[in-house]
Each structure stands twice: as C-alpha cells, then as structure tokens.
Amino acid sequence: MSGNVQLLNDTLAAAKSEGRAALIAYLPAGFPTVTGGIEAVKAALDGGADVVEVGLPHSDPVLDGPVIQTADDIALRGGVRIADVMRTVREAHEATGKPILVMTYWNPIDRYGVERFTAELAEAGGAGCILPDLPVQESALWREHADKHGLATVFVVAPSSKDARLAEITAAGSGFVYAASLMGVTGTRESVGAQAEDLVRRTRATTGTPVCVGLGVSNAAQAAEVARFADGVIVGSAFVKRMLEAPDDAAGLEGVRALAADLAKGVRGQA
C-alpha cells in the first residue's frame, strides 16, 4: 500500500492557491492516553489544522522543549509503543481524510527496522516522516524505503545552516522543508523573529518545495506574522500546553479545537 505523500503535496498546494499558509499542528501520540491522543489530533484537524505531525514520544527529545518533554514522559510512562503511533495515524486519517505525518528521532526507527516502519506507516495512511536528527548524508536507506512506500521525507533546517548545506538538505527532502525559526528547542515565545524570514528566503533559493516554519508560534498574531513569508506555520507546544493545563480531558480537547480555529484565522490573515 502506498502512503499519502501526494495528499500532503495537494494540501499544501491548495492552501497556496487560496493565498495563505497551511496550518500544521503537532501532538504527541499516547498523550494523555493513546485514545485521548487520537481525539486530540482529530480536534486539531476539526478546528482548522490542514496537516498534523504525530510525535513519537522519545526519552531524549533533543529538539523538544519542556512542554513537549512533559507530554512525552506521560505517554512513555503510559506504555506507548510504535504500534500506538501507527494506530493514531490510521484513525486520525480515516476520520478526517487529512494528511498525517510522524515526527520522530532516528533511534526508534533504526531499532524497529526501516522497511517495517515505512511499510506500516504507509499502510496506516501516513503521509511521511519528519526526521530532525537524521543527517542527510546518512539518509539514503530511509529515503529509498520512504520513496518506495509513497512517504515524504521532511528534513529540518536551521538559521545556522549555510547556503550550500541548505541546498544539500532540500535536494534530498520531499513534502516540505521544516525551517526551525531559531536556534534552540520547541516552545512558545514572545516573538518569532527576522531569523525565520531570512531562513525561509535562503531555503526557497534552493528549492521549489514548500517551506514551513516551526518553533515558537503560539497564537494567531504570530501565525499571521509567519504566514506572511512561509508556506506553512507549525505549532506544537501551544497545543500540548492547552491539554496539560486543562482541568479534564474534555476541556483539553476543546482547548485544542479552539486554538486550531484561532490559528487558522491567523494563517488566513483574519487575526
């Protein structure tokens, strides 16, 4: 069975044709429970997200700040497994018809087996994978299997990436390029600065693939700011924070849905 890279491409192209950036939400699998995590992904999509990244919880998430680390810890203590991540992708995609990616560090895939992981992700209806710590020069095996199974390979670029390095990364990736807006870890911030706009400009000079910006966006005004220059706006910690701070699971889901609706206005310039 082939994965949904084409659905991802079409979704990003449709947002562009509407003159707006796509809204991409991130939520970890297994948080607060596996079923609760699936409902959270569906709530984000129902609220207005175009795409969701499902995080594969990891004990040492080098890109993720304290909010997502807290959620990952809850999921891991709850016993979340890769099978639960695949279930999250499958049920969210079946319920909404929207593209779902997995964001994961390389070690769990390496241990699970690249062929097995890509085959199962495609079978679950996944659109691809974001791999923040897989060096491009070591990615040939992954890309071979991802291509075979119709999955996007999304690499992360940072403000520190030199132009030649950007060209190397974008030539190897597909789906979209994840532009980290600043040096550091995920988390909400007061502003998403000029560094992000410069990185998008330099990245676009190397590729026609959409460039989506993450790290730091937490409200509609920031989403509108980033949407002026990026093809997509990625929001993670703000969604997780809504769930962590909610008095109960139902309120958490409502918080996710409401934030997605607010951010969706932002990417449309309606904030």
Show which residues are catalytic: 53, 64
Judged by DSSP in three states, 235 sits in strand
Cis ω for the linkage preceding 132 (within 30 of 0):
no
Rounded Cα distance, 135 and 165, in Å: 11
Helix, strand, coil shares of the chain, percent, nearest 5, are: 50, 15, 35
Nearest to 74 by CA among 195, 200, 243: 243
**Element housing 221 (H / E):** helix 220-227
Rounded Cα distance, 186 and 96, in Å: 27
CA torsion 154→126→243→61, rounded to 10°? Answer: -40
Contact predicate 227/213, CB 8 Å: no
Rounded Cα distance, 259 and 46, in Å: 11
